[in-house]
Amino acid sequence: MGIDIDNVSKDFGGFRALDGVDLTVPTGELVALLGPSGSGKTTLLRIIAGLEMPDRGRVLFNGEEATDRDVRDRNVGFVFQHYALFRHMTVFENIAFGLTVKPRKSRLKKPEIREKVFGLLKLIQLEQLSDRYPAQLSGGQRQRVALARALAVEPQVLLLDEPFGALDAKVRLELRRWLRRLHDEIHVTSVFVTHDQEEALEVADRIVVMNKGKIEQQGTPSEVYDRPATPFVFDFLGNVNLFKGRVHEGMAQMGGVDFASPEHAGTSDAPAVGYVRSHDIEIGRSPIDAGSMPAEVRYVHCVGALVRVDLALAAGEGVEVDIPREVADKLNLKAGDKVFARPRKVRVFVDDYQI
Amino acid sequence: MHTAKGFITEPFWVRYLLILAALAFLTLFLLLPLAAVFAEALGRGWEAYLAALHEPDTLSAIRLTLLTAAICVPANLFFGIVAAWAIAKFSFRGKSLLITLIDLPFSVSPVVSGLIYVLIFGLQGWLGPWLQAHDIRIIFAVPGIVLATIFVTFPFVARELIPLMQSQGRDEEEAALTLGASGLQTFFRVTFPNIKWGLLYGVILCNARAMGEFGAVSVVSGHVRGSTNTIPLQVEILYNEYNYAAAFAVASLLALLALVTLAVKGLAELKIRQTLSINEGER
């Protein structure tokens, strides 16, 4: 089922949680709402679910007006960050809940419910734990039960609120890959909320980046990562360095070096900020080309496959650079070394944006 | 160099002194009086004890007390659940005012609570003349006693449930709603199982107070023997007539009620802790 959000706003007291949001979720896609806390992403999810009412705007399900539809009639599956399993019920009873509260007419018979629940238990690979209580499960198992419980009522939309937020790093990685595979199997339209850009980039078909109650950019993971529309998106997705400077007729001057900045050909002498991802900077012992900036090594940290080098530019600005380990081994950098840094890709934004 | 243990544990004599002091205090002020009640009540033998309880005025007092509790406890049970539900699960204007109002009976002297009803329903009160014209008796009759008792026992159930429901949050109810459960199904299948022990605790405290209330009831009852006397009032009358054995025999009923209340309270607290620790585990 496709979802359309049409100019939705929501205030909490004096706080504007959502400010005229428009969004389309196509049928069968897995969409991530990505943003920092307070960006309105959870509020938007709860409005889609019907757990929250928008102050203005409309919610459409398959093109039909659903703004005032009751939660119960929306046929959505909702997965909570803290699982919200019924703690006094077993795993089996939890998953069967949605099937047993149906009106008698449309309710399945007991053996059918049993069959369906065990089918779902098989899907989440927890068949042998059907008699356990939520307190006896690990976090990852609980979240899988919560997902099975939501899927039991065959929702048209699956909504997940920071589904992996309460789990430890390893389980989180496992579970989000599992979710991706599951989605590839059952193709239910899904929206999940996260503040973890890595999670969004890895799992989602589309990413909607939100900030301060508005949508900053939406697109496929590679679109938002490679072509960030705003400084906020650039900053939020990945590790980024800022160079303050000026732009004049397609040329930007930053950190004492000139770059071509063709997208600002029409700009004359304006303050600008250049954004460079930490892995888009090269380091050399000698100047690589005219775009190289002299710098001094402050620290070298080894983090996994990459080596992070903290540089201080001649102007005093700090720059973080990630370089592959074998490159770092060849350079053999130590704190205090004089080197040259050359940004490979610079994205210049003219309006003066504060992080 | 002290060990880590040395820092957090007092010397043994300090510990024992503190424990002894606490025990001595409890014995002197709680256990001794309780024992005295039963000793006095049974002092003239089992026969005399039963005879004292079989006295018609006493039986009538017991009946009235049971009737009062039977009306007040369900009323406050219903009100308590509704109020706690509203306060714990929704946010609305005037919420803190409502919480303060619920606590009012705790902060007002019971005598004053009784007087309020005399002021409203008494002969000289606001509604007195109208009530008399229609031959409705509230003050110095059973309705007055019930009203005063409801007022005094108002907070018990709500007070017990509010923190419990707040600590459990709204997630489980919201999950039930998204799964298609109706409001009633959500309450009986999700909310109620989570609060039942807290509810029992609140009800048992409410009941103990409803049966034991003296001050407010004393003001509105009029002390009509065999008609508007509850157990506590009957104890006072017997005591003032120097009928100690009977007074203590009746008082022992209230003391027994207190012991049962304590036992149920202990059980309920244990169960609440278990439910909450499961809750903790889930976070």
Band (B10; pLDDT cuts 50, 70, 90): confident
By CA distance, what is A140's nearest residue in B? B282
Average pLDDT, chain A: 89
Best residue in B164, B172, B173, B178 to probe A by mutation, most A CBs within 10 Å? B178
- Tens digits of per-residue pLDDT, B173-232? 999 999 999 989 999 999 999 888 889 889 998 999 998 888 888 888 877 777 788 889
Please state, rounded to an integer, the average pLDDT across all residues of chain B.
85
Asked if the model's pLDDT at residue A159 lies above 50, the reply is yes
| Residue percentage of chain A with pLDDT more than 90 | 44
Cα–Cα distance measured from residue B30 to residue B259, given in angstroms and rounded to the nearest whole number: 12
Give the model's pLDDT for residue A289: 79
Check the CA dihedral A276-A279-A285-A286 and report its sign.
negative
A191 phi and psi, to 5 degrees? -125, 125
- Is B22 buried (19+), middle (13-18) or exposed (0-12) by CB count in 10 A? exposed
What local confidence, expressed as pLDDT, does residue B276 receive?
65
Interface test with B, best of A72, A76, A83, A143 (most B CBs within 10 A): A72
- The label of the residue with tokens 């950098």 reads A333
Backbone dihedral region for residue B222 (phi beyond 0: left; psi -120 to 50: alpha; all else: beta): left
pLDDT (0 to 100) of residue A354? 45
pLDDT per residue as tens digits for the range A312-335: 887 778 889 999 988 888 888 888
Which residue from A164, A159, A134, A110 is spatially nearest to A126, judged by alpha carbons? A134
Contacts with A49 from chain B: Cβ below 8 Å: 178
Burial class (CB in 10 A: 0-12, 13-18, 19+), B97: exposed
Tell me the one-letter amino acid at B31. Answer: L
Name the interface residues of A facing B (CB cutoff 8 Å): 49-51, 71-72, 74, 76-78, 80, 82-88, 97-98, 101-102, 133-135, 142, 146, 149-150, 152-153, 166
Q: In B, which residues are within 8 Å of A85 by CB distance? A: 172, 175, 282
CB of A136 closer than 8 Å to CB of A106: no
Using the predicted structure, report yes or no on whether residue B282 has a pLDDT greater than 50.
no
The pLDDT assigned to A353 comes to: 47
pLDDT per position as a tens digit, B25-56: 998 888 898 888 888 888 888 888 888 888 88
For range B237-264, the mean pLDDT? 87
A125 confidence band (pLDDT: 50, 70, 90): confident
Vertex A151, ends A175 and A89: CA angle to 5°? Answer: 90
Read out DSSP for B118-173? HHHHSTTSSSHHHHHHTT---TTSHHHHHHHHHHHHTHHHHHHHHHHHHHH-SHHH
The model's pLDDT over A90-118, given as tens digits with 9 standing for 90+, comes to: 999 999 999 999 888 888 899 999 999 99
Confirm or reject contact between B91 and chain A (CB < 8 A): no
Q: Is the pLDDT of residue B5 over 60?
A: no
Tokens representing A280 are 């888009």
| Structure ipTM | 0.81
Give chain A's length: 355
Using CA atoms, how far apart are residues B142 and B135, in angstroms rounded to an integer? Answer: 14
pTM of the model: 0.79
Which residue is listed with tokens 């789990």? A167
B 151-210 near A (Cβ less than 8 A): 171-172, 174-182, 185, 189-190, 193-194
What is the pLDDT at residue A113? Answer: 93
- Who among A49, A101, A150 is closest to B181 (CB)? A101
pLDDT at A355 over 80: no
Residue A187 confidence (pLDDT) above 80: yes
pLDDT score, position B190:
92
pLDDT of residue A208: 95
Given this model, what pLDDT does residue B281 score? 46
Q: How far is CA A69 from the centre of its chain?
A: 28
Q: pLDDT confidence of B7, banded at 50, 70, 90?
A: low
Query: Region B138-145: what's the mean pLDDT?
Result: 84
Q: What is the pLDDT of residues A265-277, one digit of tens each?
A: 777 788 888 888 8
Report the pLDDT averaged over residues B54-75.
90
| A315 vs B162: which has the higher pLDDT | B162
Task: Identify the bridge partners of residue A275 per DSSP, sorted by sequence position.
Answer: A242, A347
Exposure string for A338-348, b = 16+ CB within 10 A, e = fewer: ebbbbbeebbb
From A77, A87, A101, residue closest to B279, measured CB to CB: A87
